[in-house]
Amino acid sequence: MPSVDLEYPTQPYSKVNRYDSRASYSLETIHQIVNTSPIVHVSFTVPNSPFPMILPMIGQMGSFARPSADTGDVLELYLHGYVSSRIMNLSRKADSEDKKEGEEGLPICVSASHVDGFVLSLTPNSHSYNYRSATLFGYATLVTDVEEKQYAMQLVTDSVVRDRYRHTRVPPNAAEMQSTSVLRVKIAAGSAKVRAGLPKDDRADMANEQLLDTVWTGVLPIHYIIGEPVPGAYNRVQKLPAYLEEFREDFNRDAREAAVRAATTVE
């Protein structure tokens, strides 16, 4: 882990303006939000379309050159998808174009969000969420090196269920490798915005004794839960493997603690 808290450079397009006290440009904060989000949304422009495109995808921050790097280090974002999907074709085309150094590839924006709680105040306008959100700005290029592609496929798979990759039929066969493309996104800038804590209300409402006596205020913590496993139709493994049960228990505990911690944090 770096000895200092590294930050992304603040750019006009990445700067948080409203409630900027909640902003963070820390690599650690941003990468943690992305890596714990089950879905990221990827936006890019499409030629001859009046609208930008946005796709839900699975992504994970990592470093093929430095596999042991943690989330506080400089990392790249890996995304995987079908070989002939629109984003892959546009990235392939962008790879062949001459561009300024550092701007090679398809420009994309990536967002990830978590809702940790409903914050219920005295008036509707003061209601809020406890949340963690992050946005990345970068350039996507296709991964062509076979070893890096396999690294990324394992990284993404294990980001969904810890240690799942090696407990399946691996490595992917030739057909699977050919039908799947992987994007490496070099990050140019990023920002996060986090809200945690209890409700806050206007001074006038706080002085209204009748309002205080009749309106419940507080936080309803929210978190994902992994439920009871449901075996597949052709599953022959009678007992849930220990690595899956441990993952389920750790996931549920960590998610619950994060939601409660967000509710009780003094902002």
Q: In which residue ranges of the chain is pLDDT below 70?
A: 1-3, 267
- Given this model, what pLDDT does residue 3 score? 65
- Given this model, what pLDDT does residue 1 score? 58
Q: Which amino acid is at 209?
A: E
Q: What's this model's pTM, rounded to 2 decimal places? A: 0.94
CB atoms < 10 A from the CB of 46, how many?
12
Backbone angles phi, psi at 212, to 5 degrees: -65, -30
- Given this model, what pLDDT does residue 102 score? 73
**Residue closest to 212 by CA, chosen among 130, 123, 127, 126:** 123
**Residue closest to 183 by CA, chosen among 137, 136, 143:** 143
DSSP string covering 45-96: --TT-SS-EEEEE-EEEE-SS-TT--TTS--EEEEEEETTSHHHHHHHHHHT
- Given this model, what pLDDT does residue 115 score? 97
- Given this model, what pLDDT does residue 266 score? 77
CA distances to 118, 127, 129, 139, 266 from 122, in Å: 13, 8, 14, 44, 19
CB atoms < 10 A from the CB of 113, how many?
16
Please tell me the distance from the alpha carbon of residue 185 to that of residue 81, in angstroms, as a whole number: 14
- Given this model, what pLDDT does residue 127 score? 97
